[in-house]
Chain A
Amino acid sequence: MIDAVGLHKVYRLKKRRVTALNGVDLRVEPGEIYGVVGQSGAGKSTLLRTVNLLERPDAGTVRVAGEDLTSLRGAGLRSARRRIGMVHQHFALLASRTVAGNVAFPLEVAGAGRAERRARVGELLELVGLADKARAHPSQLSGGQKQRVGIARALASRPDVLLSDEATSALDPATTDSILALLRRLRDELGLTILLITHEMDVIKRICDSAAIMEEGEFRESGRVLDLIGTPGSLLARSLFPLPDRGGPDTVVVTYPRSYDEPLMSELTRRFDVDVNILGGGVEQVAGQSVGRLIVDLRGARRAQALSYLAEHGLLVEEAGQ
């Protein structure tokens, strides 16, 4: 749905040049929730703003739903943008308008008639659970409610794609949960493709099918979240499951990249007569699967066989000692 190739962007300031994008390739499949995570200043916002050409890349092309946006200008670009919704960290609502007026804005811009606007606004507010707030002003709403208005507004022109720039970063944990649940529901119900950026690993864990880790204008790794977790040396796995930094020569890190019904660890001690001592780790719901990562000391004569047994069952085993 989104296909960006070879994106470069350099900001030229008075004294210095800032390379915000340094050869980024991004591919988001239809109906997917794709998360880009990284520290502040990594270039995430620049990447997102390049996808709807708010920022024109110095090099590279952006295709959304098959259309090459980088070749568009003026009216063509504006109409392409109407097929891409955007949600902002600080909501970016018009203080001069009511909730209904804010949601109606993109419809006015697109030239929809009064009756059509009214019907669509009602529908959208219903969808995000704010039907009773139509006449309120943004200043009378909580952060979570404001973001719901922002989402309703972004969906007004029936976009295929939703871009979200840190949509939950200004919200408290409980509100973040409800907004993330709303985004997932919208994907499920409307078949929306969502590209979101965040600096919170939690967001990736909760709702993303695919993810990329961004640093200094580049993708360090990218792909399906579960695939990445099952990849040796994965930065994503390490960030999602921080493990204590200890261990001797017998220490291994064991990653469960999906849910397992069998009790693998007790099976291990029974079959191979090894001692298993868990030093740390965790199990979490990621992309609908129970995924875990453990750091364990594994000792015994048949240690090597035990490790291959785990690997045969699809677990990822990495020696942590050396």
Chain B
Amino acid sequence: MTSHAMTPALTLADASAEQGPLGAVASFLRAWPEMWPSLWLATLDTVYMVWWASVFSVLVGLPLGVLLVATDRGGLVPAPFVRALLSAIVNIGRSLPFIVLMVAVLALTRFLVGTTLGPTAAIVPLSIGAIPFFARLVETALREVDRGVVEAAHAMGTRRITIVGKVMLPEALPGLIAGLVMTVVTLISYSAMAGAIGGGGLGDLAIREGYQRFNDHYLWATVILLIVVVQVVQSLGDLWVRRLARR
């Protein structure tokens, strides 16, 4: 990281030498090789945070979404009180702005990870922010499943747990994948916010180098990389959903 201390001075000098928008682009491109090592490391940090937060969102959000549907009236295990409770918890999680949630769970993060700084620490608030988000999307996807198909499964003497595993989840798969993609994209944007309190990754780099040191090149570069990451995730997700929908 120390090698970058000189970067701002260099690029600032270059920028002043060339005028106009074309000149700005040219100097940005010339600064790129210099910036690349730190950009690459920051991208890896972002991917690392988002990957693990996505894993935890699925591990917790998927069962939570299933429970929201199953405990509803006319569901597999109607339990209005349990549903109201789960729904309230999810709503609280959904209504907190992510930046507030991050600060609010600092104590938990320190307890679980031992520090509140760095990408690993950021996984905690990211997961907590994304779990209720994904759970609602799971709920919506499961509600789209044809009730007639669930009823047919009952008529065939299917156990409820089997109905979840062999009917509801497979039937809702395209919707679940679309929800997962939306969650990952949201996590990428959250992860950039996590940079604001030292979470690491592209957001962190944008704030340290771009904002605090007035280096526009870093700002542009992180914006471009964030766009690329989101595009890759979205395209892969769309491809997957389309393959499923063709059946």
Given A94-B170, A96-B171, A108-B166, verify A82-B146 contact (CB < 8 Å): no
Task: Give chain A interface residues in 85-105, CB to chain B under 8 Å.
Answer: 86, 88, 90, 92-97, 105
Task: Give chain B interface residues in 136-166, CB to chain A under 8 Å.
Answer: 146, 148-149, 151-159, 162, 166
How long is the Cα–Cα vector from A108 to B166 in the complex, in angstroms? 10
Given A92-B146, A92-B148, A109-B162, verify A81-B155 contact (CB < 8 Å): yes
Does B167 lie at the interface of the complex (its beta carbon under 8 Å from any beta carbon of A)?
Answer: yes
Residues of B within 8 A of A153 (CB): 156
Given A94-B167, A96-B171, A105-B166, verify A110-B148 contact (CB < 8 Å): no
Give min CB distance, A14 to chain B, whole Å: 11
User: Which of B155, B173, B247 is A86 in contact with, Cβ under 8 Å?
Assistant: B155
How long is the Cα–Cα vector from A157 to B167 in the complex, in angstroms? 18
Given A94-B171, A97-B170, A108-B166, verify A78-B158 contact (CB < 8 Å): yes
User: Which of B157, B166, B170, B171 is A78 in contact with, Cβ under 8 Å?
Assistant: B157
Give min CB distance, B63 to chain A, whole Å: 20
How long is the Cα–Cα vector from A78 to B191 in the complex, in angstroms? 48
User: Which of B148, B149, B157, B170 is A109 in contact with, Cβ under 8 Å?
Assistant: B157
Does A79 lie at the interface of the complex (its beta carbon under 8 Å from any beta carbon of B)?
Answer: yes
Task: Give chain B interface residues in 26-41, CB to chain A under 8 Å.
Answer: none
Given A88-B148, A94-B149, verify A109-B158 contact (CB < 8 Å): yes
User: Which of A54, A94, A97, A105 is B151 in contact with, Cβ under 8 Å?
Assistant: A54
Residues of A within 8 A of B247 (CB): 95-96, 137, 139
Task: Give chain A interface residues in 138-179, CB to chain B under 8 Å.
Answer: 139, 153, 157, 163
In the complex, which range does the number of interface residues on chain A fall in? 20 to 34
| Chain B, Cβ-Cβ closest to A159 | B156
User: Which of A54, A95, A96 is B155 in contact with, Cβ under 8 Å?
Assistant: A54
Residues of B within 8 A of A122 (CB): none
Residues of B within 8 A of A81 (CB): 154-157
Residues of A within 8 A of B158 (CB): 78, 109
Give min CB distance, B175 to chain A, whole Å: 12
How long is the Cα–Cα vector from A78 to B156 in the complex, in angstroms? 7
Give min CB distance, A59 to chain B, whole Å: 22
Give min CB distance, B62 to chain A, whole Å: 17
How long is the Cα–Cα vector from A96 to B162 in the complex, in angstroms? 15
Give min CB distance, A36 to chain B, whole Å: 17
Residues of A within 8 A of B170 (CB): 94, 96-97
How long is the Cα–Cα vector from A139 to B247 in the complex, in angstroms? 7
Q: A86-B155, A97-B170 are in contact. List 8 more A-B contacts (CB 8 A).
A: A88-B148, A88-B151, A92-B149, A94-B171, A105-B156, A105-B166, A109-B166, A137-B247
14 A-B residue contacts at CB 8 Å? A54-B154, A78-B158, A86-B152, A94-B167, A95-B247, A96-B170, A105-B153, A105-B156, A106-B156, A109-B153, A109-B156, A109-B158, A109-B162, A109-B166
Q: A residues bordering B, Cβ < 8 Å?
A: 52, 54, 77-82, 84, 86, 88, 90, 92-97, 105-106, 108-110, 137, 139, 153, 157, 163
The 10 closest A-B pairs by CB, nearest first: A78-B157, A92-B152, A81-B157, A96-B170, A82-B157, A92-B148, A86-B155, A106-B156, A137-B247, A109-B158
